[in-house]
Structure formats: C-alpha cells, structure tokens
Amino acid sequence: MIVDNVIQAERGEGLEVDLFRLLVVEDQESDIEAYKDSVDVYRDMNPNIDLRAHYARTTCEANELIHDRFFDAIIIDMKLDENDFNGGVGVLKEIKASYRMPIAIVSGTPRHDLEENAIPVYVKGEADFKDVFDKLMQLRRSPLFKVLGQEGDLDAHLREIFWERLCGNNELSCEAGEYAARRELLVLRQAVVHLQALTTQSACTQECIDMYIQPFDSEISTGMLVRDAESQVYRIVLSPPCDLAVRDNGTMNTKCILLCLVEPAKQYCINAFGEVKTKEIKGRIKKLLDNNLTLYQHWLAPAHGFGGGFIDFRDAVTCSPEEFEERFESLGIVVQEGYMKNVLSRFGSYYNRQGQPDMDRDEVLDSLTKAVGEAKQQQ
C-alpha cells in the first residue's frame, strides 16, 4: 500500500497544512469534473487543508486503488453504470470487510438505510460537495476514527502489545495442535486485557456509554436489557453466567432465568419526587444516581437510545428459556461485567439482609439522654 510520507505539508508562508486524501468512486465524467472544480474551490477557501482527490470510474478501479493506496475518506456513487446498480454496493462491502474509514454516499439512487450505520447519504444534484467534504473531515477527526480508524490509536497499541508484550511468549507463539482454538482464544483474551490495562492507566471519569457493550450475538447473557413485548416494561437479566451457559446438547444450565424490573428514570423521578420541595429534588436524585437512597434500587445510565432507569430488586420474576425467547425482545445492549459485579453484589446484599425483632427502646433512650445531660452539667 502506498502511503504519503508527509502528513502535513506547506502551502504558503510557513502554514502547516492537513493532508486529506479522498477517493471518489463515480462513473459520470460530468460529475467527476464537478468534483474537480469543487476540490479546487475548497482548497482555495481552506488554505490549511491540502485536499487531494483520486477518481475511480468502476468497481475494479476502486478496489485496486483502495488496496494500493491509503485514503482518509471515500465518496461512493451507488450506481456506477446503467447495467450495474450494485456496483457501489460492492465497493462499500469491500471497504467494510477490510478497512475502517469515513464513507459518504452521493448518488442519484441513494440508500438511506445506510444512514443507520453512520454513513451520511446525499442525493446527487442536491448535495453541496463542500458540505460532503466538511462532513468527511469531521468524521476523520472524531474520536471514533482517531482510535479505531485505519492507522488509528488502536493499531498502534496492538503493534506495541504484539511486539513488546506477547510476541516473545512461547506459550502463545508455539504450534497448538489440537488445542489451537483454545490457544487462539487465549491470545485474544491477552490482547483484550492488555488493551484494558491501557484504558485504566489514567483515573479519568467514565461516561454513561461505558456502562454497556453491544453484544456480538443474540445469546441470553447476564446484564442483558430487554423489553416485555406485551407490557412494554423493561427488565434486566440477573442470572449468573454459569446458569446461562449452554451445554453441548443445546440446553441451558438453568431452567429459570431471573429478571428484575427496570423503571424508566425520568418517569420514576417525576412520580417519586413530585411532592418533594423543589430545593430538595436535586439532592434526592443525586442519592439515587449514587445508589445511596434505597437498598433495593440501582441506577442504569442512559446510552444507546436507552433513556436510563432504576433496577428494582423487589420486583423479580423468573421464566424458562423458551418463555424468555417468546416474551422478551432485546434492547441490543448489555451492562458490562465491571458494572454488573456491583449490581449483583447489591442484589445479593438486599436479599441477604438480616432484620431483628422490634423492641421498646424508649426507656433506654430516655436513660441515656438523661445520663448525657447530667454529665454535661457536671463539667
């Protein structure tokens, strides 16, 4: 792959310029000329950005350029010729299979469903190319692509982990034979824990989104957030991972899955504190968020379209795996392990708490109060 050696060049007197390499996949010559004019105008309007565009007129040309050169972003026309509507789709699949870079669709036949995957879509003839260029540059500067994009921070960290941490480990680099699958999983775990160690080196405050992961499959798992298809109430799976493990015969280790109610945060606070004095409301809510107001509730942060809520340990139900599949639909997020440990610990503490019989303490209270009062008088 050809990569420009200089990321920052100079245009003008000592001005540092950000090099932006763009691939435009477009088969219409008139549109290509319009792109070229727009690139020239954009460069004149933004002297600090060195926008360099390459053009591919076919799927084959696009794939060759993608493999041979490094690009910061790509613009794709979905219909590359009159006979091949899937041409742009093929280029898109090739990019998503092997690369991580900002993509924009500019087409007379746009696929607006792609916007769900954070790919901006523009209608040819209506789009201002300047806006498209700005959007792609904004995406490249975003934390998502700075960390996970091509040649991003993640690649640098993985190279360091590979060469400096794991490469010299004979247990990982020797031929594994019949244990190959287990050793490969071990390597993956080692890479993940080393990456995790990098994220915990600084004592920065975590964000709401840190509470969750988006699972790779639809298997029932501890911390999965679900919605009851009939009542529309939210619940969270609290069965431990050992219970949810699937045996070789395809059945779970447990016959009953444990779930607790999750009350939507906004509506709960309105109902709970509607009669509380205004100046006290913020303090009460803060205690809720800190999990210090009650023993039976635990806060779940808002993220991924979920508005946040409070687990109510008192409202626990069970159902069979078969009933679960029929009754509940996943929200597509799972509370990650580090947070679930605290949830399960508090759940256990709530049901493990020990009360004691009520007793008349008034006589003792009066006696001790009197003793303290007399002692103070004698001082």
pLDDT tens sequence across 219-268: 999 999 999 999 999 999 999 999 999 988 889 999 999 999 999 999 99
- Give the pLDDT band of residue 81 (cuts 50, 70, 90): low
Segment 10-38 shows an average pLDDT of: 86
Give yes or no for a contact between 258 and 223, defined as CB atoms under 8 angstroms apart: no
Q: How far apart are CA 309 and CA 325, in angstroms?
A: 23
From 7-16, 124-133, 330-339, 341-350, the region with the lowest mean pLDDT = 7-16
pLDDT value for 9 = 44
CA within 13 Å, CB half, 278: 0
Model confidence, pTM: 0.76
49-56 and 16-25 beta bridge pairing: parallel
Segment 100-105 shows an average pLDDT of: 93
- The SS3 call for residue 241 is helix
- The SS3 call for residue 319 is strand
| pLDDT tens-digit readout, 259-284 | 999 999 999 999 888 888 888 899 99
- Those residues whose C-beta lies under 8 Å from the C-beta of residue 98, and which sit 6 or more positions away, are 66
- Give the pLDDT band of residue 179 (cuts 50, 70, 90): confident
- Does 365 score more than 70 pLDDT? yes
Give yes or no for a contact between 39 and 60, defined as CB atoms under 8 angstroms apart: no
What are phi and psi for residue 300, nearest 5 degrees?
-115, 130
- Does 296 score more than 60 pLDDT? yes
pLDDT value for 14 = 57
From 82-96, 144-158, 247-261, the region with the lowest mean pLDDT = 82-96
- Give the pLDDT band of residue 6 (cuts 50, 70, 90): very low
Q: How far apart are CA 8 and CA 1, in angstroms?
A: 19
